Amino acid sequence: MGFFDLSSPDGVCEVRWHGRGGQGAITTAQYLAQAAYLSGFQGVTSAPSFGAERRGAPVTASSRLSHHPLRIFSQVEFPDMVVVLDESLLEYGNATAGLKEGGWLIVNTPRDAESIDATGRFSVATADATSAAKEAALIVSGTVMVNTAMLGAVARATGLILLENIHKTLAEKYPPKIADKNFEAARLTYERTMMVPCQR
């Protein structure tokens, strides 16, 4: 599991999702928690961040994963992992604020991982989830839905969740045809994820 040491009694992986209103960041924080539970984690939580959000405005959500029961439901301030659904939030959404040195920065972008973190402080994974979602015909009211696709990038980069458990989670949430589209986007993103470890 690389950077994540979850073997101690208080070992927790804290994840913060960054997206825009309507992209499904809050929903996918819940899906990550469910997939992690199916992957063997006993303690999983997710929490939304509600404010004066509107469609297109920056939003965040939090997930926590542990092999022990959790009683923490607050927003994540110092994440071990940040997942960015919209690359522009790296510059305008302060997405890396509080991200622990050596933690994972996972970004939906066609750019290669080496170009994302010039400081070398983070392990970086990139994947063009937008293209994967288009290929899977995962488009709702003209909007390409990248949120579930990015679960594939999380699985590939960190090994914390299994691809098969993403499939099971989506199958519990959607009718079969819609679940299949969502999973195909996640599978394609998984296959195309590029990674660069922390340089420090």
**pLDDT (tens digit per residue) in 32-62:** 999 999 999 989 988 877 555 556 678 899 9
Assigned domain for 3 exists:
no
Model confidence, pTM = 0.91
| Residues 181-199 pLDDT 10s | 999 999 999 999 999 988 7
pLDDT over 80 (residue 200): no
CATH number at residue 151: 3.40.920.10
Assigned domain for 118 exists:
yes
Assigned domain for 200 exists:
no
Q: How many domains does the chain have?
A: 1
Assigned domain for 199 exists:
no
Assigned domain for 7 exists:
no
Assigned domain for 129 exists:
yes
DSSP E strands: which ranges in 3-129?
Answer: 12-20, 43-48, 58-66, 81-84, 104-108, 123-127
Assigned domain for 124 exists:
yes
Residues whose CB falls within 8 Å of the CB of residue 148, separated by 6 or more in sequence, listed in order: 24, 28, 31, 138, 166, 170, 182, 183, 185, 186
Q: Which domain holds residue 96?
A: 12-192
The burial class, CB within 10 Å (0-12 / 13-18 / 19+), for 32 is buried
pLDDT over 70 (residue 7): no
Mean pLDDT across 81-96: 89
49: left (phi over 0), alpha (psi -120 to 50) or beta: beta
Model confidence at 1, in pLDDT bands (50, 70, 90)? very low
